[in-house]
Amino acid sequence: MPLAEPGSGRPTSSEPAVDAATAAAYWSKTSGLMWTMLIIWAIASFGIHFFASMLNEYRFLGFPLGFYMAAQGSLIIFVVMLFWFARRQNAIDAEFGVTED
C-alpha cells in the first residue's frame, strides 16, 4: 500500500495512506480473488484430466473431448484466467486507490 506524508499526498515511510480497516478490506478482496483463481486452476488442471475418459465419449472438432480439453482446453482456460485475474486485480487496486502508474 502506498504511504503518504500528512496533508501533502506524497509518499513517506511514517504514515500509511490507508487505515487498517481499508487495508484489511483490500487484502480480503485480493485473497478472495486469489482463492477463486486457485479453485478454477485446480478444476482445469486436475478435474479435466480426471474425467478425460468420460469426456472422450463426446467429440469436439473431430477429436475426443477429453483429449482436446487436456491438450488445448486447459491452456485456453489458463490464458483467459490470466487476463481476467489482471483485470479484476486492477479493478480492486483502483477501488482502494493503490493503482500502479
Tens of pLDDT, residue by residue, the chain (101 residues): 554 445 555 555 555 667 888 899 999 999 999 999 999 999 988 888 888 888 899 998 888 988 888 888 889 999 999 999 999 999 999 999 888 86
Domain boundaries, the chain: 20-95
Collapse the DSSP code of 101 into the 3-class scheme (helix H, G, I; strand E, B; otherwise coil) and give the result: coil
pTM value?
Answer: 0.70
Q: Which of 42, 41, 36 is nearest to 92 (CA)?
A: 36
Cβ neighbour number for residue 66 with a 10 Å cutoff: 21
Residue 68: name the closest of 77, 80, 56, 50 by CA.
Answer: 56
CA–CA dist 92, 1 (Å, integer): 12
